[in-house]
């Protein structure tokens, strides 16, 4: 039997009781039914629910294109913003071998001339592919990056050869990028109409760059599919995504309006970045929602640790842990023991890290911080796929508990309207 990711709330019992969770059972069941039966707000954007099972049958073309990229390219530039790149980057940063080509670069997620100029310089001496990801093709940040890098590609390779090295992941039939791709002959992959950007990591949006980085995307989907099916919604409170959603909601009702995701492995930094977009954009509406923040421990224990230990008590903490680490490094002995660390000689650094984690949880609990933990058996494509899908289900359930539509993002348009007007965009 394959282990599954678990959610532990032992260190939050000062704030959450079994009765609190039991009282939510029927509401969680109702939320689950809305997902399964597709009757809740945003029901037209629930295609992500079926991806772990249905997506496996459509991987051949993605794997074939990824193999072509690995064979013909030393670098792949992924151009996108938000959900168009964060999911892929989360998986690639967590699982890829940094020294194995193609090197993955990211562009279009900021408006930094310095960053884009650096990417342009870094790829000049390399064989390059571009993967531009946009539903419409008119989003400002990736649009600017693509215009500049496309010009560079056409100068380097000539227009015809450049077109063979540009891949567009976009709408199936409409939009500026779809029109351009058909005009120039780019290879294309489709963003499903019923999957929003922040839920798109298990579509070609995420799977093509992930596969190009040499990661097993079938294992990613298999891990997601191994999460308990939503068919029996009466037991959601006993299932990891339902339990996580319920714990967050109880803590929110008790005045904990911020969640700090603490990762204990640097490879998971971008998983936390992806998680912040998923939960922030899904929940922050109508004056409701939990503010998502993240830290990397033990590094941030020496900066934000003080605030977490003794600052305002209006947040809770979730530790993202890996039970078994593949890399081991033993601490050596030193005859002089000037650093006073001989008591650690012979121990693995991973063991020291786990004790630091345990000690931190104890300290924060004593400081009256509710501490949850999400425990992954190991860092692998299988369990990372399971984790991403767990978070997607949890935020959907949590959104329905909050009484909002977790699948739209009306507030994102506010800054764009002002920016377009200030820049003099026609019609703004």
| Active-site residue list | 281, 302, 416
Tokens of 167: 């891949």
DSSP string across 307-367: HHHHS-S-EEEEEEEEEE-S---BPPP-SS-TTS-GGGTT-BHHHHHHHHHHHHHHHHHHT
Residue 11: phi and psi, rounded to 5, are -90, 15
Tokens of 317: 């903490």
- The residue assigned the tokens 């039997």 is 1
Chain mean position to CA 287:
24
The CA angle 353-359-360, to the nearest 5 degrees, is: 90
Tell me how far apart the alpha carbons of residues 81 and 79 are, in angstroms, rounded to a whole number: 7
Residue 415 neighbours by CB distance under 10 Å: 9
Chain mean position to CA 193:
20
Q: Are 177 and 215 in contact (CB under 8 A)?
A: no
Q: How does 326-348 read in b/e, with b if 16+ C-beta sit within 10 Å?
A: eeeeebeeeeeeeeeeeebeeee
Among the listed residues 236, 258, 238, the one whose alpha carbon sits nearest the alpha carbon of residue 248: 258
Among the listed residues 108, 104, 62, the one whose alpha carbon sits nearest the alpha carbon of residue 82: 108
Q: What stretches of 126-255 show up as alpha helix (H) in DSSP?
A: 140-157, 159-164, 176-184, 204-212, 217-225, 240-253
């Amino acid at each position: 039997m394959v282990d599954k990711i678990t959610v532990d709330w032992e260190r939050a019992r000062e704030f959450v009781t079994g009765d609190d969770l039991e009282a939510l059972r029927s509401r969680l069941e109702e939320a689950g039914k809305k997902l399964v039966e597709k009757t809740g707000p945003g029901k037209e954007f629930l295609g992500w629910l079926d991806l772990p099972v249905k997506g496996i049958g459509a991987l051949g073309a993605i794997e074939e294109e990824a193999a072509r990229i690995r064979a013909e390219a030393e670098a792949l530039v992924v151009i996108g913003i938000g959900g168009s790149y964060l999911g892929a980057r989360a998986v690639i940063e967590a699982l890829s071998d940094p020294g194995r080509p193609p090197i993955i670069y990211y562009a279009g997620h900021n408006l930094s001339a310095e960053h884009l100029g650096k990417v342009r310089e870094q790829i000049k001496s390399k064989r390059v592919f571009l993967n531009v990801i946009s539903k419409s093709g008119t989003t400002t940040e990736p649009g600017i990056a693509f215009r500049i890098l496309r010009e560079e590609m056409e100068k380097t390779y000539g227009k015809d050869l450049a077109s063979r090295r540009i891949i567009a992941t976009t709408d199936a039939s409409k939009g500026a990028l779809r029109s351009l791709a058909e005009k120039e002959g780019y290879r294309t992959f489709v963003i499903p109409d019923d999957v929003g950007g922040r839920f798109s990591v298990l579509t070609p949006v995420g799977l093509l760059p992930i596969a190009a980085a040499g990661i097993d995307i079938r294992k990613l989907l298999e891990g997601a599919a191994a999460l308990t099916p939503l068919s029996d919604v009466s037991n959601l409170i006993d299932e990891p995504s339902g339990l996580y959603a319920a714990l967050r909601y109880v803590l929110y009702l008790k005045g904990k309006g911020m969640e700090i995701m603490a990762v204990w492995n640097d490879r998971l930094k971008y998983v936390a970045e992806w998680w912040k977009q998923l939960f922030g954009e899904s929940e922050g509406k109508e004056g409701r929602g939990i503010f998502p923040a993240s830290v990397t421990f033990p590094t941030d224990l020496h900066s934000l640790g003080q605030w977490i230990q003794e600052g305002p008590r209006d947040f809770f903490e979730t530790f993202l842990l890996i039970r078994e680490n593949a890399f081991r490094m033993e601490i050596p002995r030193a005859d002089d023991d000037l650093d006073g660390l001989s008591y650690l000689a012979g121990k693995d650094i991973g063991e020291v890290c786990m004790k630091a984690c345990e000690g931190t949880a104890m300290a924060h609990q004593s400081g009256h911080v509710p501490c949850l933990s999400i425990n992954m058996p190991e860092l692998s494509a299988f369990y990372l796929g399971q984790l991403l899908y767990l978070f997607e289900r949890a935020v959907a359930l949590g959104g329905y508990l909050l009484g909002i539509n977790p699948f739209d993002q009306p507030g994102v348009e506010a800054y764009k309207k002002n920016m377009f007007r200030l820049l003099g965009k026609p019609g703004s």
